[in-house]
Each structure stands twice: as C-alpha cells, then as structure tokens.
C-alpha cells in the first residue's frame, strides 16, 4: 500500500524530509512507513504540538537513529525506551546525551561497562553519534516525548516501528548483534532469528534495576568477538 502524504506540521515535515534522505532506503520499506502508520503518528504528535506541547528531541532529530545507521549497515542493535524529557538533552539516539549537566545514570553505567569491558578510557561526553556511524542502531521504542513528560508518546504507535525494524534487520542482515537490556527490550527477542544473529540479554543499565546484572555483562567485547568471527568487522566502541 502506498503511504499517504505527510502532514503539514513540523513532525510531518520531518517525516517527509526523512523519506527524501538517501539513508532512509531500506527503512522506508518497513510496513510502518508503507501503510500510513508513520503519517498517523506524525499527525497525532503535530496535534499535541499545536496544543502547546514541547517536543523532544526537536523534529529534525526524530529519525536520527535511522538516518545515521541505514539498514544495510546495521551491525548492532540497542533498544531504548524514549528520549530524555528535558529539552536539549536528547539527539534522537537511544541513551545518547548532549545536555550540559552530568551524564544520566543509565548512560553512565553503559559507558563504565564499555570502559571496563574493552579497556578504554571513559569518554568525556555522552553523544553516541559515533557509535551510530559505526553501525550501531540506537533505536528508542518511542522516537519522541514531551518536555517534562517521559513516556508521553509511548502508545502512540511508535512501537510498531521498533518491531518492524528488529524484524527487518533479522531478515535482511546476514549477521547482527542484538543487545537487549531490560524486560521491554528482551520481549523483542522472539523477532530475531538466532540461527543468523547473536542475541545478548541482561537487565537494564538503570540504577533502579535491583538485580544489578548489567555491570560486568561483557556485551561489548562479546559483540566484537562474534562480529569479527563472522567477518563483519568489530565496532570501535571508543569512537
């Protein structure tokens, strides 16, 4: 089915711009983009903006995860929930932080594990754009939220995009690593063909995870060892 034209609001315009981006090839073949699902979500969010809601991240960054990591280049998948709710903190990549305050606790835990696991120095900031360019799809389950309202757009329809993306990567890529952290991410393990791909599961990096099973998981070195074994090439986690 051919998708309808994007709406005229800022999110509709961002969707139209994403469709016109060469990096969108592959992603725009997903059912979410072909059956009108993307336009319905965009229209719902544009209505919220018209009612006075402040969107995070800004519209031009909503599809950053897909634009920076085309389907044809995906090596690793990391699923988050939704963007940081403070304006200026999120840049469209799961867990990535571009704010000016201290790192969010979950990201701090992730970067500490990378440093421990791979023998790297802890990075000075939290912008994970370099990982995205390395082939790490940093995809939130909901690509948007509202200022001061974490989770505000969960249930608007973004979840279909996450499901479609995981299924497409499983089908289209020869070898990929799925890092599924926390119960919500791990629920998508059933969408992955384990005959082709490596699925790494553990608890969420949040300090609220009472099991504290993320620290010491070794996912980053395990992913690289497996990718090299498959001839895909390791990820530079220090990038």
Query: Which string of b and e fits 91-107 if b means at least 16 CB within 10 Å?
Result: bbbbbbbbbeeebbebb
Catalytic residue among 22, 25, 82, 213: 82
φ/ψ (deg, to 5) at 40: -65, -40
Query: Which two structure tokens, joined as six digits, stand for 40?
Result: 């319905």
CA nearest 171: which of 33, 30, 63?
A: 30
Mapped onto helix, strand or coil, the DSSP state of residue 131 is: helix
CB 181 within 8 A of CB 214: yes
Distance between CA atoms of residues 239 and 236, nearest Å: 5
Distance between CA atoms of residues 80 and 114, nearest Å: 17
Query: Which two structure tokens, joined as six digits, stand for 144?
Result: 């948007």
Helix/strand/coil percentages in the chain, nearest 5: 40, 10, 45
What is the pairing mode between strands 145-146 and 76-80? unpaired
φ/ψ (deg, to 5) at 56: -130, 140
Instruction: Tell me whether residue 82 is one of the annotated catalytic residues.
Output: yes
Please identify every residue annotated as catalytic. Answer: 82
């Amino acid at each position: 089915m051919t998708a309808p034209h994007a709406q005229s609001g800022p999110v509709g315009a961002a969707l139209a711009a994403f469709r016109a981006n060469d990096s969108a090839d592959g992603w725009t073949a997903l059912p979410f983009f072909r059956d009108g699902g993307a336009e319905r979500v965009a229209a719902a969010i544009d209505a919220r903006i018209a009612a006075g809601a402040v969107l995070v991240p800004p519209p031009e960054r909503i599809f950053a995860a897909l634009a920076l990591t085309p389907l044809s280049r995906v090596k690793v998948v990391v699923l988050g929930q939704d963007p940081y709710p403070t304006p200026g903190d999120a840049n469209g990549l799961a867990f990535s932080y571009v704010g000016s305050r201290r790192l969010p606790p979950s990201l701090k835990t992730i970067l500490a594990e990378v440093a421990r696991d791979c023998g790297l120095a802890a990075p000075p900031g939290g912008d994970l754009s370099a990982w995205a360019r390395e082939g790490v799809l940093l995809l939130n389950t909901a690509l948007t939220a509202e200022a001061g309202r974490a989770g505000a757009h969960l249930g608007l329809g973004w979840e279909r995009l996450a499901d479609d993306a995981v299924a497409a990567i499983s089908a289209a890529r020869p070898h990929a690593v799925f890092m599924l952290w926390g119960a919500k991410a791990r629920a998508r393990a059933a969408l992955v063909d384990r005959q082709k791909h490596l699925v790494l599961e553990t608890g969420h990096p949040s300090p609220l995870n009472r099991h504290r099973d993320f620290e010491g998981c070794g996912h980053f070195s395990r992913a690289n060892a497996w990718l090299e074994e498959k001839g895909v090439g390791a990820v530079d986690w220090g990038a």
